[in-house]
A and B are shown apart, each in its own frame.
Chain A
């Protein structure tokens, strides 16, 4: 098995920002001899290691599982949240996707609802607060019926699973010119509202999660589908249509009392 051992020389333009209220700027770093089988975050590790050894200030960025599932890593790479490849997170992006001599622009996920903490790390707790507004089934531990007591058609279960694959990273917000969180909200509403277990609270869920989203300062959806294009889990923008329908029905029901 021939394993290519090539390395890249890159110019990095990295966003540096000391805190939420500080002014930010791009800082240039030359990253030489980066192995092409390293991941993008391993490339940043190598850069940081050099900065530390030279007595400088390393770049702060969020990451954790480094296998594309926790949703902690972010980064806008050359203008694209999670970089140039479809259906992957930044931590799964590998340097073989770049060429030696490339200049790479690295920025945080930008949105009013995601304030910068430092450099490339942002605060995404707004997503947690949206889930707290209704992204759950109100079932108390211990009160559940026998699991097979309620059959769920396979196509519904599969569709709910596909929507539930969202990792809550916020790339959809970072890609949207309106910084809308509709893809995130619609995925959760679709997951739960499709299942019989989620039906009793379906209307209330759609209404209160959308209201929470608005209150957090996320923008409106204007059907550009940038969110779908950058989603590392390829969540479909069709869910937004479904959410709009659920929201309209819930609003009417709400007005009608």
Chain B
């Protein structure tokens, strides 16, 4: 079944003591932990729930699902998003699908298999109990979404269809053409709308969280800016849920929406929350290559395309400029099939991305600047017919043509890796609570379940698992220790943070320098992509760590933000986000520097065996949880050593 060489290297060294808070998972057999945890978790009685106010920041899959479900249970929910409608959160752009261990194909899938593949896909850097729980609730998510009217693809018999995805050998991915994220988000958005209509959720759109408020060490509220009026105000609650997505835009160019940012989690970090594993960033192998310096974002082509598309480059450098059709079959290098015969074009993302980079580094890339590889559908079109390919990927081919002006039915797509997802995030325990009591973190915003690399179709699964099924069960463990409604926006702690936010906003507006926020963002992004992208070295990271503070200094002395704070001012919003990326980027590089191994999305050129990542379980099988010390250049590292009960470390091989 797996081609792993079972080179067992179980860690037994008792000197490795974690100095993070306990993860809070119950002891005992792995497969029954979640059931036992639910059975022993605290409950809040229905009559008391309405006395609690829960603040949910973000309205993507995790946020909308959590807000809707908590409201259904009777809590008061306040939900915030920066977009003009919660339906626009970037979960909407996920294309390929959502995994669930339903075993509808009778092909050997099971909860254990999904669990194991996720741990292995994450290169043995995820927490065992969390991942098992994720696999357990995966099937419930599909039930829930179908009941909401999510129009998943179906077979002629009327039952749900599945496809396979990278890093797996079973068909467990549910999908709605190339718009799975859209349909799942609309399901969650509609559930949220139902609860807004029922009065349980108060929705604040075009409202951006700018800081976290803690009272006696507990997260009790947020300070937000109304992006239309510019008014800065506080919202108090009994717990805060950050569901604010990832930090991929630190690279400037990514597949994230333009508005995606690190501000909410970074502000929480500066208020004491540990930031875990920021160096685990996912570079997606199949994106449309960069076309010019003005480029504002990169567009993903779903990984599902690799089910029917074959990756290749010319064998000879001199063929790279020729039209692809003129290159004979024997002159093509189907490099994934060559290097990884058992997974072929379905090798996991990190591996497929690095393989593409390798070919381009070798001078055999295609398209402008030689930064691209072909993804060719000719064989599949010959085998299945154009109509079948159109049915599976029609919207993707259309999107590709819009952007490049090329028809992928007639010539191969050109693709190149791009930043897509970030596995790192705020540290959370088994209850999804950070080290700040009351502050819970869901979805991509937490460091969670994907270890050093996320498998395709697992982000939607995790966002919805956290929102629909995990947090509703675990949040009462915190709430039960709290007297509801104990704090108010009028308290001094809120006034103090509000004043700090006002001060920062005024400062951004008063620098009156010469450069736009966007120009700083681009410069930071290029630097991070260059030194902390697909391959990292000690030398490069050290250089980045020298340059980032200097760039930050220039930002604070030469930034120009037009307009005022009391108006709709997209430039001001951007400036605030770039300011935080300029701080966060340094932590990202620090984390990449300390992790002297290669694993998953983190590839240190010094630690490899002929291009394959060399992991070091003895030294680095821990979660790196960073504490803000007040000095951006000297964060404090806490380690949570990963202890595996059922899984044995093995070399991750897809050959």
**Residues of chain A whose beta carbon lies under 8 Å from any beta carbon of chain B:** 1, 3, 18-19, 35, 37-39, 41-42, 45-46, 48-49, 51-53, 55-58, 60-72, 87-88, 92, 94, 96, 117-118, 121, 123-125, 127-128, 131-133, 135-148, 150-154, 157-158, 160-161, 164-165, 167-168, 191-192, 195, 197-198
Asked if A57 and B563 sit within 8 Å, CB to CB, the answer is yes
Contact of A38 among B69, B193, B228, B294 (CB under 8 A): B294
Additional pairs, 15, CB under 8 Å, beyond known A61-B570, A124-B85, A144-B144: A45-B294, A49-B516, A49-B519, A53-B560, A56-B562, A58-B570, A64-B90, A66-B296, A72-B83, A125-B84, A128-B205, A131-B189, A141-B68, A147-B147, A164-B183
In the complex, the chain A residue whose C-beta lies closest to that of B65 is A141
Q: A168 to B89: give the CA distance in the assembly, Å.
A: 13
Asked if A92 and B399 sit within 8 Å, CB to CB, the answer is yes
B510 within 8 A of A: no
- CB<8 Å pairs between A and B, sample of 25: A3-B291, A3-B367, A39-B296, A51-B562, A58-B571, A60-B568, A64-B83, A65-B88, A65-B92, A70-B92, A94-B405, A127-B85, A128-B193, A131-B87, A132-B194, A137-B148, A140-B72, A141-B65, A141-B68, A141-B191, A141-B469, A144-B148, A145-B147, A147-B160, A151-B157
Asked if A135 and B190 sit within 8 Å, CB to CB, the answer is yes
Q: A8 to B554: give the CA distance in the assembly, Å.
A: 33
Contact with A along B295-325 (1 / 0, CB 8 A): 1110110000000000000000000010110
- Closest chain-A Cβ to B138's Cβ sits at a distance in Å of 11
B88 surroundings in chain A (CB, below 8 A): 64-65, 70-72
Asked if A197 and B83 sit within 8 Å, CB to CB, the answer is no
Stretch at the interface among B174-182, B348-356, B525-533, B615-623: B174-182
In the complex, the chain A residue whose C-beta lies closest to that of B322 is A1
Nearest first, the 6 closest Cβ-Cβ pairs linking A and B are A151-B158, A144-B147, A136-B190, A161-B151, A144-B143, A118-B568
Q: A66 to B295: give the CA distance in the assembly, Å.
A: 11
In the complex, the chain B residue whose C-beta lies closest to that of A152 is B158
Contact with A along B151-162 (1 / 0, CB 8 A): 111111111100
Asked if B259 and A71 sit within 8 Å, CB to CB, the answer is no
On whether A37 and B291 interact (CB within 8 A), knowing A117-B228, A135-B193, the answer reads yes
- Closest chain-B Cβ to A171's Cβ sits at a distance in Å of 15
Asked if B147 and A3 sit within 8 Å, CB to CB, the answer is no
B146 surroundings in chain A (CB, below 8 A): 144, 147, 150, 197
B398 within 8 A of A: yes
In the complex, the chain B residue whose C-beta lies closest to that of A136 is B190
A137 surroundings in chain B (CB, below 8 A): 147-149, 190
Contact of A72 among B84, B191, B228 (CB under 8 A): B84
B524 within 8 A of A: no
Contact of A132 among B197, B292, B297, B405 (CB under 8 A): B197
B258 surroundings in chain A (CB, below 8 A): 63-66
Asked if A35 and B257 sit within 8 Å, CB to CB, the answer is no
B472 within 8 A of A: yes
Interface size of B by CB at 8 A reads: 92
B546 surroundings in chain A (CB, below 8 A): none
Asked if B93 and A70 sit within 8 Å, CB to CB, the answer is yes
A198 surroundings in chain B (CB, below 8 A): 149
- Closest chain-A Cβ to B509's Cβ sits at a distance in Å of 13
Q: A183 to B192: give the CA distance in the assembly, Å.
A: 22
Does more than half of chain A's interface fall in helix, strand or loop, or is it mixed?
loop
B102 within 8 A of A: yes
Q: A118 to B183: give the CA distance in the assembly, Å.
A: 30
B86 within 8 A of A: yes
Asked if B562 and A52 sit within 8 Å, CB to CB, the answer is yes
Chain B 345-377 interface residues, beta-carbon cutoff 8 Å to A = 366-368
Contact of A52 among B158, B366, B367, B571 (CB under 8 A): B571
Chain B 118-163 interface residues, beta-carbon cutoff 8 Å to A = 140, 142-149, 151-160
On whether A69 and B179 interact (CB within 8 A), knowing A58-B562, A147-B143, A197-B148, the answer reads yes
Asked if B514 and A197 sit within 8 Å, CB to CB, the answer is no
Asked if B296 and A65 sit within 8 Å, CB to CB, the answer is no
- Closest chain-A Cβ to B276's Cβ sits at a distance in Å of 27
Asked if A70 and B83 sit within 8 Å, CB to CB, the answer is yes
In the complex, the chain A residue whose C-beta lies closest to that of B139 is A147
A63 surroundings in chain B (CB, below 8 A): 258
B402 within 8 A of A: yes
B196 within 8 A of A: yes
Asked if A191 and B193 sit within 8 Å, CB to CB, the answer is no
- Closest chain-A Cβ to B183's Cβ sits at a distance in Å of 6
In the complex, the chain B residue whose C-beta lies closest to that of A74 is B84
Asked if B93 and A67 sit within 8 Å, CB to CB, the answer is yes
B186 within 8 A of A: yes
Q: A48 to B562: give the CA distance in the assembly, Å.
A: 11
In the complex, the chain A residue whose C-beta lies closest to that of B72 is A140
Highest count of chain B CB atoms <10 Å: which of A132, A136, A147, A160: A147
- Closest chain-B Cβ to A120's Cβ sits at a distance in Å of 11
Chain B 46-69 interface residues, beta-carbon cutoff 8 Å to A = 65, 68-69
Q: A123 to B205: give the CA distance in the assembly, Å.
A: 10
B183 surroundings in chain A (CB, below 8 A): 161, 164
B571 surroundings in chain A (CB, below 8 A): 52, 58
A92 surroundings in chain B (CB, below 8 A): 399, 402-403
B2 within 8 A of A: no
Q: A144 to B104: give the CA distance in the assembly, Å.
A: 18
B196 surroundings in chain A (CB, below 8 A): 128, 132
Q: A152 to B151: give the CA distance in the assembly, Å.
A: 10
B90 surroundings in chain A (CB, below 8 A): 64-65, 70
B645 within 8 A of A: no
On whether A96 and B405 interact (CB within 8 A), knowing A69-B182, A70-B88, A72-B88, the answer reads yes
A71 surroundings in chain B (CB, below 8 A): 85, 87-88
Asked if B297 and A123 sit within 8 Å, CB to CB, the answer is no
- Closest chain-B Cβ to A105's Cβ sits at a distance in Å of 22
- Closest chain-B Cβ to A58's Cβ sits at a distance in Å of 6
Q: A109 to B248: give the CA distance in the assembly, Å.
A: 31
B468 within 8 A of A: yes
Q: A67 to B257: give the CA distance in the assembly, Å.
A: 8
B296 surroundings in chain A (CB, below 8 A): 39, 41-42, 45, 66
Q: A49 to B83: give the CA distance in the assembly, Å.
A: 22
Contact of B177 among A39, A160, A161 (CB under 8 A): A161
In the complex, the chain B residue whose C-beta lies closest to that of A130 is B193
In the complex, the chain B residue whose C-beta lies closest to that of A133 is B197
Asked if B102 and A161 sit within 8 Å, CB to CB, the answer is no
Asked if B148 and A136 sit within 8 Å, CB to CB, the answer is yes
Q: A124 to B205: give the CA distance in the assembly, Å.
A: 11
B567 within 8 A of A: yes
B518 within 8 A of A: yes
In the complex, the chain A residue whose C-beta lies closest to that of B144 is A144
Asked if A64 and B193 sit within 8 Å, CB to CB, the answer is no
Q: A154 to B156: give the CA distance in the assembly, Å.
A: 5
Q: A92 to B84: give the CA distance in the assembly, Å.
A: 20
A147 surroundings in chain B (CB, below 8 A): 102, 142-143, 145-147, 160
B440 within 8 A of A: no
Asked if A68 and B83 sit within 8 Å, CB to CB, the answer is no
A35 surroundings in chain B (CB, below 8 A): 292, 294
In the complex, the chain A residue whose C-beta lies closest to that of B155 is A154
Highest count of chain B CB atoms <10 Å: which of A41, A67, A160: A67
B414 within 8 A of A: yes
Asked if A197 and B292 sit within 8 Å, CB to CB, the answer is no
Q: A138 to B258: give the CA distance in the assembly, Å.
A: 33
